[in-house]
Amino acid sequence: MLSDADTANKSAIEFWFDFSSPYSYLAAEKIDALAASHQRIVHWHPVLLGAIFQITNAVPLVNMPLKGDYSVRDFARSARFFDLPFTMPAKFPLPTQLAARAYYWLCDHDMAMAHDFARAIFRALFVHDRDISALAVVCDVAASLGLDADALSLAAAQPEVKARLKSETDAAILKGMFGAPFFMVDEEPFWGVDRLPQLEKWLATGGF
């Protein structure tokens, strides 16, 4: 556990992601430990990548000719590189707004538990091939962590929780996010799980 003194003069790492992003799954498994080793905390921000793609005129990697086949291969290879399990979901990409809304509701109550929930959602999709666009699956993941699934289900439908997800996505766009995962460290942006070594060097050296 980081003390207040450890983090008092160090800004948090901002971590934006979509639950439907394989590279975000890999980053989610690594970023908290990496940050803690440099006396930083991480603020997690699930967003809707589809809304961002409307701004950038992009499409999911798997839907791009030639690049799609490569990407599927790279998802699995990158997981092996990070020594993480990976299964390419049968349904992909898929909507993630329910999981994202649930995350923000949890985060307002317990940030550490919200991070655990996010990792569990990622594993449900990219390890166990579960359809996280289904409310029943999101609630089951929550229940497996000892959370109140009924309360979470109700919260995910609340207008203020829906608005929170939209505002977080809008804020990510204003920060320059165009793909996931996306990080901000000391106002320096890093895109992609393959930039974690650069991010770590930045933390170690104070910038380069």
Mean per-residue pLDDT for 148-165?
Answer: 97
| Confidence (pLDDT) at 146 | 98
Q: Concatenated DSSP letters for 49-115?
A: HHHHHHHHT---GGGSTTHHHHHHHHHHHHHHHTT------SS-S---HHHHHHHHHHHTT-HHHHH
Q: Which domain holds residue 15?
A: 4-205
Provide the CATH number for the domain around residue 42.
3.40.30.10
Mean per-residue pLDDT for 30-34?
Answer: 98
| Confidence (pLDDT) at 10 | 87
Q: Work out whether the CA dihedral 81, 18, 164, 196 comes out positive or negative.
A: positive
pTM of the model: 0.94
Mean per-residue pLDDT for 13-37?
Answer: 98
Mean per-residue pLDDT for 177-192?
Answer: 98
Which token pair is 175? 């920060």
Q: Per the structure, how many domains does the chain have?
A: 1
Mean per-residue pLDDT for 63-92?
Answer: 97
User: Amino acid letter at 108?
Assistant: D
Mean per-residue pLDDT for 49-69?
Answer: 95
| Confidence (pLDDT) at 9 | 63
In degrees and rounded to multiples of 5, residue 89 shows phi and psi of -65, 145
